[in-house]
Structures are given as C-alpha cells and as structure tokens.
Amino acid sequence: MEYRNGKIGVKGDPSKSMTTAEAGFMAFMGDNLPPGLEPGMDATRRFEPPNFVFPFGTHVCVVEVDAKTGQVEFVKYLAVDDCGRLLNPMIVEGQVHGGIAQGLSQAMFEEVVYDGDGQLLTGTLMDYAIPHAEQVPHYDLDHTVTATTVNPLGIKGVGEAGTIGSTPAVANAVMDALAPFGVVHIDMPLKPEKLWTAMHAKNGRAR
C-alpha cells in the first residue's frame, strides 16, 4: 500500500485507491472484511519529549471592596499567557477562561464546611458556591508565542494556566485593597464577612 494524492492506494496499480474516510467506513462497518479480521482501525503511538515544557504568563486583577459590606467587585482582569504555538486559539481561550473562573472561585467562593459532628454543611450547590457567569469578570486575554524546542509542534500546556495565575492575582488584589486598613492576611476563600470583620476590627476606619 502507499499513500498518494490524499488516498490510500495499491502500490504499482494507479487504478486501485480509496480515501481514508472510505477505508475507515469499511473497517468500522466490518461487513465486508476478510475472514478472521476484526472490525475497527486503531493505532497508538507514544512520544517521549526530551524535557518538560515551561509555559508562563502574567495575570493582573483589579477589584473594588465595599467597605460597608466586604463585598468584592471585579473591575478588570487581564491575562497574558505563553503556551507556545496556538494550534486552536479558540480552545486555548476557552481553557484560560475556565481556568481563571476556577482559580478565582477558589480565592473567593469555594469552601467545604463541616459542623462539630462531622456533618457536611455545604453538600449541595445551594450552599457550596461556584460562580455563575454574572459573578465573574470579563477577561481581557492576550498571548505571547515562545515555541518550545522539545516537541516538533512547539506547543506547551495551557490547561492549568488560568487556575495557577488567577488565585493569587485575585487574592493579592483583595489584600492590596485592604492594605490601608492594616490588614495583611486573610485565609481563602475571601468571603465578604471576613473582609468586613478585618476592616472593622483594626481601627474602625471602615465605618
């Protein structure tokens, strides 16, 4: 067999060929195969890169904290990531969107709470907060492209870029907003009551 002009053909016989789609259809339908041959057509190859890839990026978050309530409003979110060559920019953008949402959710919302008897109190999504679309900011995204040399495509991972960048960006933005109140640390998630209590405990300036 040989591959020629986008088709699989019999070597030496230009009249005998079919497209890969036709070959795949025959293989998977399996109703016209030689005796003893199982239907299907699969192949697995593995690639061992000579080294890790190192995606990188910078995330910047701007928030406003309401001193009267401790509620946080997102003003701006910027992220520039470098995952090497973007094979499908739309999918890359989706990965970053989802990752930022997950990371800011960790910083702001998600918390597993048990009572003193070990009973889970946040057992449904009515209690355990995961942000809706309206609770996350608009994301301004950009990319630099620094192709890696350790694989032929020049690609690097992007799945975790959003989660890694957004949790500290959001938490640090909130803590920066609280700096004038002398607040230096609050454990995540940064729930409004914690922020309100911290602002009011220090010196009453929030009142």
Partner 1 sequence: MIPAAFDYVRASSVDDAIRLLGEHGDDAKLLAGGHSLIPMMKLRLAAPAMLIDITGIPQLDAIRVDGNRVTIGALTKHAALAASDALKKTAPALWDAANQLGDPQVRNRGTIGGASAHGDPSADYPAVLLALDATFTVVGKGGERKLRAGDFFREMFDTALGAGEVLTAIAFDAAPKSAYVKYHHPASHYAVVGAAAVLTLNGGSIATARVAIAGVGDSAFRAGGVESALAGVRGSDEAAVAAACAGTASGQDARSDTFASGAYRAAMADVFTARAVAQAASR
Of residues 57 and 137, the one with the C-beta less far from partner 1 = 137
CA dist., res. 33 & res. 26, Å (int): 8
Cα-based distances in Å from 134 to 32, 62, 74, 150: 55, 17, 11, 40
For residue 113, the minimal CB distance to partner 1 (Å) is 4
CA neighbor of 74 nearest in space, from 54, 103, 116: 103
CA dist., res. 121 & res. 115, Å (int): 7
Of residues 132 and 138, the one with the C-beta less far from partner 1 = 132
Residue 185 CB-half CA count within 13 A = 1
For residue 127, the minimal CB distance to partner 1 (Å) is 6
Main-chain phi, psi angles of 108, to 5 degrees: -110, -35
Of residues 164 and 188, the one with the C-beta less far from partner 1 = 188
Of residues 7 and 194, the one with the C-beta less far from partner 1 = 194
CA dist., res. 190 & res. 188, Å (int): 5
Binding to partner 1 (CB under 8 A) within 81-140 occurs at 109, 111, 113, 121-122, 124-132, 135
Of residues 141 and 199, the one with the C-beta less far from partner 1 = 199
For residue 145, the minimal CB distance to partner 1 (Å) is 37
Of residues 136 and 141, the one with the C-beta less far from partner 1 = 136
For residue 196, the minimal CB distance to partner 1 (Å) is 7
CA dist., res. 11 & res. 4, Å (int): 10
43 binds partner 1 (CB under 8 A): no
188 binds partner 1 (CB under 8 A): no
Q: How buried is residue 37: exposed, middle or buried, by Cβ count under 10 Å (0-12/13-18/19+)? A: exposed
Amino acid identity for residue 17 in this structure: S
Q: Which residues bind partner 1 (CB under 8 A)?
A: 68-69, 71, 109, 111, 113, 121-122, 124-132, 135, 191-193, 196-197
